[in-house]
Amino acid sequence: MKLLGRRRSAGTDELLTCGCCARELPRTAVHELGGTPGVYVCRRCAAWMATRIGRK
Ligand SMILES: [Zn+2]
C-alpha cells in the first residue's frame, strides 16, 4: 500500500515568512540571508537592504 499525494513537504509550494515584513511567500520569491541561515526576506525587502548596505 502506498499513500501518494499527501506528503507534507511540498517542496516548491512551501511558504516562507519574510523576516522583514512578515509576509508569507513561496520559496521562489524569497532570498535566504547569507549571514543568517534560515531567515528569508522577500524581493522587495532584499532590494531595500541592498540599497542600504550599498550606501555606507
Ligand atoms: Zn519582506
pTM above 0.85, yes or no: no
Q: How many CB atoms lie within 10 A of CB 24?
A: 11
Cα(46) to ligand 1 centroid in Å equals 7
Ion ligand 1: residues, Cβ under 5 Å: 18, 20-21, 42, 45
Q: How far is the CA of 49 from the centre of ligand 1 (A)?
A: 10
Going from the Cα of 35 to the center of ligand 1, the distance in angstroms, rounded, reads: 17
Alpha-carbon gap, residue 56 to 3, rounded angstroms: 54
pLDDT above 80 for 52: yes
The SS3 assignment for 30 reads: strand
The domain segmentation of the chain, as residue ranges, is 16-54
C-beta of residue 52 within 8 angstroms of C-beta of residue 28: no
pLDDT tens-digit profile of 18-41? 999 999 999 999 999 888 888 999
